[in-house]
Amino acid sequence: MKRKRMVQSMSKKDVLILGIESSCDETAASVVKNGREVLSNVISSQIKLHTLYGGVVPEIASRKHIEKINQVVRQALADAEVTLDDLDAVGVTYGPGLVGALLVGVAEAKAIAYAKKLPLVGVHHIEGHVSANYIEHKELEPPFLCEIISGGHTHLVIVKDYGEFEILGRTRDDAAGEAFDKVARAIGLGYPGGPKIDKLSNEGNPEAISFPRAHIEAAPYDFSFSGLKSAVLNYLNKCKMTGEEICEADVAASFQKAVVDVLVDNAMRAAKDYHIEKLAIAGGVASNQHLRTAMEQACTKAGISFYRPSPIFCTDNAAMIGVAAYYEYQKGTRSGLDLNAVPNLKLGER
Ligand code: KG4
Ligand code: ZN
């Protein structure tokens, strides 16, 4: 009964895309209607498994993706109350990411596309993260500025059009999320570090310890977090050697404040220099509560409209891949059945 109603409510022109994501430690599938409406969003997280080892173990990730992928796709179709026959295309992350993990999603998408004679659209993972902003902000359209902050990437870009980016800045060393994970490990919080530091910071004083904020004169929109990470490690070592008591909450809050300050400063500088009045954030670190508040305040002060996905669409998911695939599909982008995983795929490359 329910399914009939659903199908009837869909007009002929509706475009339904199945998005698939498996670039790291989440096996995910989603059905997206007309690029903006998420009909289902299934995420099978491997976090608990990798926590045992203090980080993502690529071999285990690939094996788990293989175990889960069919189940996750089936669930995404069932939740959306559609079948493979209702789909218009299949979108899949083909890079960047862990090669063995990516290959599982790519193989699944190719099998479905081949069996059902559907167009296949390979999606750049970062383009997916940016596109997560279109889900809940129906009015958001390019051009806008976007800061993408994840476990593997830190980029400041102008989204000139759907899927078209001008890169203004990037990290010179560690990604912001990587810094969160490494500092969390050093203060004994375990993996994944971002959410744990976010939570513990509520109990700490962000002004307690003075950690450095890197600004690169010649490249004002670039980031560098390895000096900050070393400063935290040096501080912890110094305390241990001198017998000084370590307040983990103060370390977490002070470290987080240093990261947030740089992320906000660079974004605000770029918005001002390029006269852009719309700023979006994306990627796992964009779910950080302190960053969201600080960025929102800075945007309000500067008269800039601020956009951010709900936390569930910030961390890895397949809805964002379905959205990005929709805009690529509309532009005519098609991948062949020879689509391969590209672990170090650059933004803007196909
Ligand atoms: O986007 P994502 O899920 O995967 C990648 O594409 O890398 O990002 C994962 C990263 C991890 O480093 C994780 O620690 C960080 O995002 N993260 C956070 C928070 N939630 C996840 N960092 C800071 N605060 C959070 N609340
Ligand atoms: Zn990601």
Domains of the chain and CATH, by start: 2-131+317-330 (3.30.420.40), 140-309 (3.30.420.40)
CB atoms within 10 A of CB 119: 17
Q: Tell me which residue of 279, 330, 252 sits closest to 36, measured CA to CA.
A: 330
Nearest-atom index, ligand 1, CA of 184: 14
Round to whole Å and give the CA distance between 46 and 193.
15
Residue nearest to atom 13 of ligand 1 (CA): 194
Mapped onto helix, strand or coil, the DSSP state of residue 161 is strand
HSE-CB for 191 with a 13 A CA cutoff: 16
* Residue 22 Cβ < 6 Å to ligand 1: no
The atom number, within ligand 1, closest to the CA of 177 reads 12
Pairing type for strands 26-33 and 278-282 reads unpaired
| Ligand 1 pocket residue status of 194, Cβ below 6 Å | yes
Instruction: Identify whether the C-beta of residue 191 lies closer than 8 Å to the C-beta of residue 183.
Output: no
Length of the chain: 350
- Spatial CB neighbours of 87, under 8 Å, sequence gap ≥ 6: 16, 17, 18, 31, 116, 118
Taking 50 as the pLDDT cut, the residues of the chain under it are 1-8
Nearest alpha-carbon partner for 147 in 29, 264, 280, 247: 280
| 145 CB-near residues (< 8 Å, 6+ apart) | 156, 157, 158, 159, 267, 270, 271, 274, 276, 278, 279, 280
What is the whole-number distance in angstroms between the Cα of residue 310 and the centre of ligand 2? 14
Measure the CA–CA gap between 9 and 161, rounded to whole angstroms: 30
Mean per-residue pLDDT over the chain, rounded: 95
Question: What six digits make up the tokens of 260?
Answer: 């947030």
> Would you state the pLDDT for residue 13?
86
Cα(323) to ligand 2 centroid in Å equals 14
Tokens of 88: 């218009």
* pLDDT (0 to 100) of residue 350: 75
Q: Do 322 and 38 touch, CB atoms closer than 8 A?
A: yes
CB 157 within 8 A of CB 279: no
131 CA distance to ligand 2 centroid (A)? 12
In 3D space, the residue among 35, 247, 29 whose CA is nearest the CA of residue 134 turns out to be 35
Q: Which residues surround ligand 2, an ion (CB under 5 A)?
A: 150, 316
Atom number of ligand 1 nearest to Cα 125: 6
- Tell me how far apart the alpha carbons of residues 89 and 324 are, in angstroms, rounded to a whole number: 12
- For residues 143 and 158, the answer to whether their CB atoms sit within 8 Å is yes
Phi-psi region of 82 (alpha: psi -120 to 50; beta: other; left: phi over 0): beta
The amino acid at residue 305 is S
| 27 Cβ inside 6 Å of ligand 1 | no
Strand partners, 45: 26
Q: What is the pLDDT of residue 7?
A: 46
Q: Which ligand has its closest atom nearest to the C-alpha of 193?
A: 1
Phi, psi of 33 (to 5 degrees): -105, 130
Report the pLDDT value the prediction gives residue 341, as an integer from 0 to 100.
Answer: 98
At residue 280, the pLDDT reads 99
Structure tokens belonging to residue 94: 């083909």
Nearest Cα residue to 249 out of 208, 288, 210:
208
pLDDT at site 3: 43
pTM, 2 dp: 0.95
Contact indicator for 22, 45 with CB cutoff of 8 Å: no
User: Which ligand 1 atom minimizes the distance to the CA of 175?
Assistant: 12
Residue 96 Cβ inside 6 Å of ligand 1? The answer reads no
Q: Please tell me the distance from the alpha carbon of residue 78 to that of residue 41, in angstroms, as a whole number.
A: 11
